[in-house]
Amino acid sequence: MQIKEVLGEKSMTAREVAVELFKKGYTSSTDRNNAAPRLTELVDRCEVEIAGKKYDEQTGRNVATYKIIAKQLSLFAI
């Protein structure tokens, strides 16, 4: 629920999600490993989808961005 709250209607990388989780006090660090495994689980459960790619300046690589699947977004907003 916390990851879905952070994602909202945005598309974000695992690192960006991890930073937002930390800012909200949900995690004790900005480590992307706080978010990446949960995002994978949400993708497997068809609640979140890979939306595209984005360049990550910290790693120098293109990384996946995630967003809530539209039908899940409407359920989450209720």
**pLDDT tens digits for 22-78?**
999 999 999 999 999 999 999 999 999 999 999 999 999 999 999 999 765 555 554
For residues 53 and 12, the answer to whether their CB atoms sit within 8 Å is no
Write down the pTM of the prediction.
0.86
pLDDT at position 6 over 80: yes
Its CATH architecture, for the domain 2-77, is Orthogonal Bundle (1.10)
Res 21: pLDDT: 97
What tokens were used for 54?
Answer: 């984005």
SS3 per residue for 16-78: HHHHHHHHCCCCCCCCHHHCHHHHHHHHHCCCEEEEEEEEECCCCEEEEEEEECHHHHHHHHC
Res 78: pLDDT: 47
pLDDT at position 4 over 60: yes
